[in-house]
Structure 1
């Protein structure tokens, strides 16, 4: 009702229910979502509403023993009374000596905080007799002797007339055995929004007349905040529910282990909601022993990816919700000849197979919003003779074809907004046909069987039809001559029309216009100069193509700029090496005496560390002669010749690596030479010293290769670890110094 009110007052369509079953208050009419009683006007005297009462037991005693009260208490609310267990109040008698348990038909305990075990000292020990004059001590009664769990108030109590029980949002964690044994005529049980993680196999024993069971929105977590899986001691939990018609498990997290529960559902079950349960697969033939009419599998990605998960429901299923399950085809629904409603919003369907869809002979509502459907050129939806509502919003339909217009003509209501369309004359004809049908047809609502469950999904579409904006487009005041060129227009009308929703791209002007402003096919054929239109379109198309041709290379260069820069540096270094004449360098074959023990490569920013730390340790303590570019390069030679010559006259090479080192082109050249020395010569004396951590994304391929193939040493930040660093480095340098001399020139 609220949705309808908002639609009427604000001009907005009512919001569809997220799951097929909606919420508990959508399927009953005696209590609201907060636990307050809302019985029919004639039943107000039969109701006691104690919701949010601080001391409900005492107030209940007073109301039952009020001297003028004669009415039977059929409705009772103890919602949000801060109860930690069900109070033992049901043997209290009114002034007519009628026990409360014998009178109750509808009861809600919504919003209390039941504990697994009641808190210490919490007991309801006082009650009043029928006249209210004598206090009775119940300390030795059976009420006090039962185990003090949250459900102790139900123990040993019979509720022969109780029809509906609301235990929503009571922090219930377990359903113990024989919990509802004393409620033989219960028809609806609402235990959603709790923390149920265990159900005894005999928890529902005795509920032979139960019709609707709501176990939705149960979320249990362990002490670490991890979700608990729903557990049972036997898969035949629902076996006692011989007359169960509707089972709601929506928003309750299930696992593959819980699929066994569904196999205990009998032929009586007509409605099942597994909406947003976290299941990602259904076993083939799992519903083969059921006769489901309504099934909701929404928000479970991949749940229908098996071959035949719905086998056995072809002749019984009337409504299927499968929103956002990553469905890619309609093949799962082939031969579902009784299906009336198919809700497939938010999937990945890009093609409709006519061999499948023509088998859906009874389909009345088909919702394919937010899929990937394109324009089509063959009859599809016209093969479903009973189709009343077809919604194709937010797909990839870019152009309305002549075949589409013919195919959709006899669908009563269409929704096509949210598709990025290109203007053409068929789009205008489609618009004029819709306007003509508004003048020639009256509203037709969806008429479905009265005994169908969850009729809110049908009322939603009927409300859309009732509150929709009609298409006139300036044609309401003209006679039939305005649409004479249309011919047969079918019967379809637009369900989601507003001028802003039905626009298209006018290619000649590269702008968006209303479909109502496009020329119709008849007028276009007479007045439009095709050569001029095509010439202008070619120029604009060429401009549109040039833009990505320019932006794409620029984007690629920007994305791979580091790799491109490194490629050219490597190419330059290779070219520089090839230009060196062997006779210009030191002849390694004739000169086997090294002038230096180690060639040190470092950047200018790390000069202080080299001079203050490294050089004193090497030359003073280790007697290692080091070659530094700023001290030992020969004046007059090119930098390239100095680098190659000094490396040839050094026993080993040491790279002082840092992030600043990688920014120096000469340092990168020296690193490239070091790799060349490893790969192309027989000398493999290379020492890597890392002054700081260098992330993988900053390492060029040369450095990454060296770090993967050579053991390196890291300069410690902690001063206490530095003696070990110097000891390891000294050992390495002395070992390299004492190796037999065998020099192969880099040149």
Structure 2
């Protein structure tokens, strides 16, 4: 009997032990590993269908990863959820089932996990909102705070977010809700309104939300701190598609409105968006939006707004109209406007942001804007600005007073532009710590800027990033190059930085210039002497050239004519093609025509005359025709008058005739004075000619006319 009792007792002990063991653990599909410490038990499983692992009921964190062996995940997920759901795991706080190709979740699957705080089912794109409803069912019985359900709805396109899910979450303590990349076009009525008031962080990025009145229910979330509405009207994150540019077209006719006018119109969908947000919101991320206007209109924050951080980068806002109006408790400290292809900023756009400490306008197209003088006012309202990023803007120059009102500036990034010279004043920037002007076209820095940086370096560490610029390596720039290597300022250069004017890097160029420029200093006194001698010689050449300019011009044209085979002298019996070239102003043509008729139709002696409107070669330069006419005529008859003195080409003909006399050593000019001209109106050359030579006066009566013809013909006929 004693033996039987002993066996029964042993059997009972074993039974009790096995029962207790069953209560202490359960089995889960997959190959699981467990790690623990004094407070937490963490289990990580992979997807092995043919394996089941014992899991402690005290597990606090469960992480499931997809199969390494590429098994049938649908069967695996059914297995996992069958083993996991409805277990009474009172200490389980974190469940991560992301990226496991889940297709279904039993309703109320997680409702028994009373300590559950963090649930992630993201990147199971075939779940859909029906299964999100199942997952949320019963979460009001848990301590849920963080729910991640991004990229779970690729079942239906432009699906509305269901109200019934919000109603399940209303009485929870949810703080974080991520519903990104779910093809949501709009919420059902009340779907946002009934979300829990405890929500602090919401992400709906990558959906297809439009600014409808239902979306403005977001203002009901009184505890919301961070909102991410980026990349609306785009596909989900994992489809590598380029962002589209969509121009907003209002319902009403805007054919009579400019872009600026529309940006200021109350119908602009962006105009009132800040006012609809809850006053508790501190961080707004709205990057990569593609709908709406192509400019930033006037914006205003709501009463009591606590907004500190705004990111509206990558939105295609090519013009910033503004201004951004804020309430008296303005808290906006960070503004990101990068990657917008912006080309213009209205004056006053930033003026109300007096507490802004960080501004990023990099990756725009503001180079032409900063060339304009009015751009110097763009930052004048930013009294608290500490960090300014202006890189990648195609900037070649900026106004000197651009930062004149930003006395608290600590960091300035103007790198990766086309900046050719530095002219930004920094003497008032007593808080400055860092300047990044790398990857520009700077050859040097002005001494005033170097002195300002040296002064600042006495009280704090100053960093200057100057790599990949076009540093000029010459003796004239040696002072700057020395400063780069000896200053207390920490100057960042690249080993690959090349020097303009030297075949090698900046370090080698520095050593070379120190030697070569030292040799040149011993001969510095020669340079001014050489310069003076050169200037004296050039002055003499200029004076001589000026005095002989008409002879030079005449000989040059004559030389070119001869190069082309023209040889008038000796080309006829007496060596000249014409008896006379007539030089006159068009205003005197009536009298000249009488001279032509008399001389060419004389029965006794017929003269061959050269007249510009008749005998000049069409298509040739006038100057060439004049030189040729003067040189190929025995005489040049000048009809002097006030009109003649005013004519550029008449004066040119006279100068060429004078040069011909000097060059050929013969009397070639016959001067006929058509009217009395005071000496004060005569040019110096004409006055000198009158003083040295005789002339023929225009006849006043018939008797004088006969004498005039006889005299003129005689002078022309006799060389």
Normalised to the residue count of structure 1, the TM-score between the two structures is 0.46
Structure (1 or 2) with the greater strand fraction: 2
Q: TM-score, normalised by structure 2?
A: 0.48
Task: Indicate the structure (1 or 2) with the bigger Cα radius of gyration.
Answer: 2
Select the structure with the greater relative contact order (CA < 8 A; seq sep ≥ 6): 1
